Chain A
Amino acid sequence: MKQIRSTIKLLRRSPYQALAAALAMSLTFFVASIFVIVIIGGQLVLRYIEQRPQIIAFFKDDTSEVQINEISKEIEKTGLVSQVKYVSKDEALAIYRERNKDDPLLLESVTADFLPASIDISINRAQDITQVASLVKNNQQVDKVITPENLVEQLVKWTQTIRFGGLIFVASLLSISFLIVIMVVGMRIAIRRDEISIMSLVGATKWYISRPFFMEGAIYGVIGATISVLLIYVFVLFYSPNIQNFLGPIQVFPIDPLFFVYLWVSEAFLAAFVGIIGAGIALYRYLKIN
């Protein structure tokens, strides 16, 4: 406790360096938090789309229910699909009526015979859409196949790119924060050279001398992570209605407040770790005790 108090006292004596290090950390972790949320959001969007019937196959009029059942079984056998749902002509008519109930003109003279029977296929993994779609298309009884494959493929590509780009971007920011911590702690070692030499002379251990610097590194990290999570919380509160509007039925918000607690704890640990390692390198490089 005494050690923490004296470290805080030291930080207050040269607040600008401390501020620079803490802000570099908070910027890094703010950007990291955005990427975490975007990646998690992307996963939710993907999962939502994956759970929808991604492929709808319409059958020719002369296809019997038995044939459709056989085709369904064949598709299920691939193991790539989670569900194959048969929609009969009557059910198709019911859906049609429901969708167009406000437009009686469209309902007139439409009978079940006009509408084709179909199957809705849900795929386990978005990547397998093309494979399943081509299998369905090859069947002679199938008249038409509708797939959102392009959308899903694009989404998968986007999330992968964001994940990769985010990783590189955050890694670069992390390196910068790391270097700033090394620089700031190095400067503080230089400023306190007299004190260090006196402490060493009166019999302080190397650990006793190094400890405040390690603690300083950890404090930069924890302050940085805290600022970043507070910022991201405000950011999410402010923008979530707009983003949710854009996403429509895909439920991403509101984010569970516990998520921010987990985010803070994990970022604080990671940032403190970065701070401690940075301080360690600075000490190794600049702390010379005879």
Chain B
Amino acid sequence: MLKFESVSKKFPNGQVALEDVNLEISDGEFVFIVGPSGAGKSTLLRLLTREVIPSGGRILVNEQDILKMPKSKVHLLRRKIGTIFQDFKLLLNRTVFENASIPLEVFGIKDAEIQKRVSEVLEKVGILEKAESFPAQLSGGELQRTAIARAIVSQPEILLADEPTGDLDPHNSRQVVEILEKINKEDKTTIIMATHNTSIVNHFKKRVITLKDGRVDKDQKEGKYEAD
């Protein structure tokens, strides 16, 4: 369970990214966070990984106030959360397999176990045949699948997707979200996807939280998104 209680974020330059945000997201939910650029979508996601500290309010992950967590324990929070980005953030000098194995290496998992788990996850996102390719040899859709593989290989409870279809064509965009939906259904992973892709949001019929000027404008169970 994720909970935002009166969360606000004001950056040092005076820009208000979020203001009095109150939200609850249950375990295993699939939520779209929508809104125009600058509405605060990315900030909302980055607050969950404590990359950004709010100016006010409380954020609870599984009943735990993550703002009270000492800095030395933040890595434990991050191990529960997988993240994917619009620009994939893959390491160009590592193969698909090596990129996907980063979290397991960090956790100190043994090589044989890494081999097994990464292969499984690459198969799940449909990119196993490209395991030895480098990012420069992949298409946009394949890059995002690799990023998804890296995000889910450690079996996180929550998967944050920040505009994951932003750089993809409609076909690849839909495939990527289908993969996310599959992960949500099969692994019961909570998925929070920030996007302004109207066709995707309207096609998948999930809960839609609309942000506007840093505030929650709408929160609909099977919502739609109509960009301004």
A residues apposed to B, CB below 8 Å: 13, 194-195, 197-205, 208, 290
Nearest 4 Cβ contacts at the A-B interface: A203-B79, A203-B78, A202-B103, A204-B106
Residues of B within 8 A of A198 (CB): 89, 91, 102
- A sample of 6 cross-chain residue pairs with beta-carbon separation below 8 angstroms, ordered by A number, consists of A199-B106, A200-B78, A202-B102, A203-B75, A203-B103, A204-B106
A interface footprint on B87-131 (CB within 8 Å = 1, 0 otherwise) = 001010100000000110011000000000000000000000000
Q: CA–CA, A240 to B76, complex, Å?
A: 61
Name, among B50, B91, B154, the residue most crowded by chain A CB atoms within 10 Å (CB to CB).
Answer: B91
Taking the closest CB of chain A, its distance from the CB of B133, in whole angstroms, is 19
Contact B154 A202 (CB under 8 A): yes
Contact B91 A205 (CB under 8 A): no
Contact B102 A199 (CB under 8 A): yes
Is residue B217 contacting chain A, with contact meaning CB distance below 8 A?
no
Across the interface, A203 reaches (CB within 8 A) one of B89, B91, B106, namely B106
Is residue B190 contacting chain A, with contact meaning CB distance below 8 A?
no
Is residue B83 contacting chain A, with contact meaning CB distance below 8 A?
yes
B residues apposed to A, CB below 8 Å: 49-52, 72, 75-79, 82-83, 89, 91, 93, 102-103, 106-107, 150, 154
Q: A201-B83, A202-B154, A203-B78 are in contact. Are A208 and B106 (CB under 8 A)?
A: yes
**Chain B, residue nearest A192 (CB):** B91
Q: CA–CA, A199 to B102, complex, Å?
A: 7
Q: A194-B89, A290-B51 are in contact. Are A203 and B102 (CB under 8 A)?
A: no
Residues of B within 8 A of A199 (CB): 102, 106
Taking the closest CB of chain A, its distance from the CB of B52, in whole angstroms, is 8
Contact A203 B83 (CB under 8 A): no
Q: CA–CA, A204 to B50, complex, Å?
A: 14
**Chain B, residue nearest A6 (CB):** B105
Contact B79 A202 (CB under 8 A): yes
Q: CA–CA, A49 to B206, complex, Å?
A: 95
Residues of B within 8 A of A208 (CB): 106
Q: A208-B106, A290-B51 are in contact. Are A202 and B91 (CB under 8 A)?
A: no
Contact A203 B107 (CB under 8 A): yes
**Chain B, residue nearest A195 (CB):** B91
Q: CA–CA, A201 to B76, complex, Å?
A: 11
Q: A198-B102, A199-B106, A290-B51 are in contact. Are A204 and B89 (CB under 8 A)?
A: no
**Chain B, residue nearest A204 (CB):** B106
Taking the closest CB of chain B, its distance from the CB of A227, in whole angstroms, is 29
Residues of A within 8 A of B154 (CB): 202-203
**Chain B, residue nearest A199 (CB):** B106
Taking the closest CB of chain B, its distance from the CB of A213, in whole angstroms, is 16
Residues of A within 8 A of B78 (CB): 200-203
Taking the closest CB of chain A, its distance from the CB of B67, in whole angstroms, is 14
Q: CA–CA, A290 to B83, complex, Å?
A: 15
Taking the closest CB of chain A, its distance from the CB of B99, in whole angstroms, is 9
Contact B89 A205 (CB under 8 A): no
**Chain B, residue nearest A205 (CB):** B75
Contact A201 B91 (CB under 8 A): no
Q: CA–CA, A198 to B78, complex, Å?
A: 11
Residues of A within 8 A of B91 (CB): 194-195, 198
Q: CA–CA, A202 to B91, complex, Å?
A: 14
Name, among A13, A194, A200, A203, the residue most crowded by chain B CB atoms within 10 Å (CB to CB).
Answer: A203
Across the interface, B49 reaches (CB within 8 A) one of A13, A195, A201, A205, namely A201
Residues of B within 8 A of A13 (CB): 93
Residues of B within 8 A of A205 (CB): 72, 75
**Chain A, residue nearest B50 (CB):** A290
Residues of A within 8 A of B82 (CB): 202
Residues of A within 8 A of B49 (CB): 201
Residues of B within 8 A of A195 (CB): 91
Residues of A within 8 A of B93 (CB): 13
20 A-B pairs besides A202-B150, A203-B75 with CB distance below 8 A are A13-B93, A195-B91, A197-B89, A199-B102, A200-B75, A200-B78, A202-B78, A202-B82, A202-B102, A202-B106, A202-B154, A203-B76, A203-B77, A203-B78, A203-B79, A203-B107, A204-B75, A205-B72, A205-B75, A290-B50
Residues of B within 8 A of A197 (CB): 89
**Chain A, residue nearest B46 (CB):** A290
Residues of B within 8 A of A200 (CB): 75, 78
**Chain A, residue nearest B91 (CB):** A195
Residues of B within 8 A of A290 (CB): 50-52
**Chain A, residue nearest B49 (CB):** A201
Q: CA–CA, A221 to B76, complex, Å?
A: 34
Name, among A195, A202, A290, the residue most crowded by chain B CB atoms within 10 Å (CB to CB).
Answer: A202
**Chain A, residue nearest B106 (CB):** A204
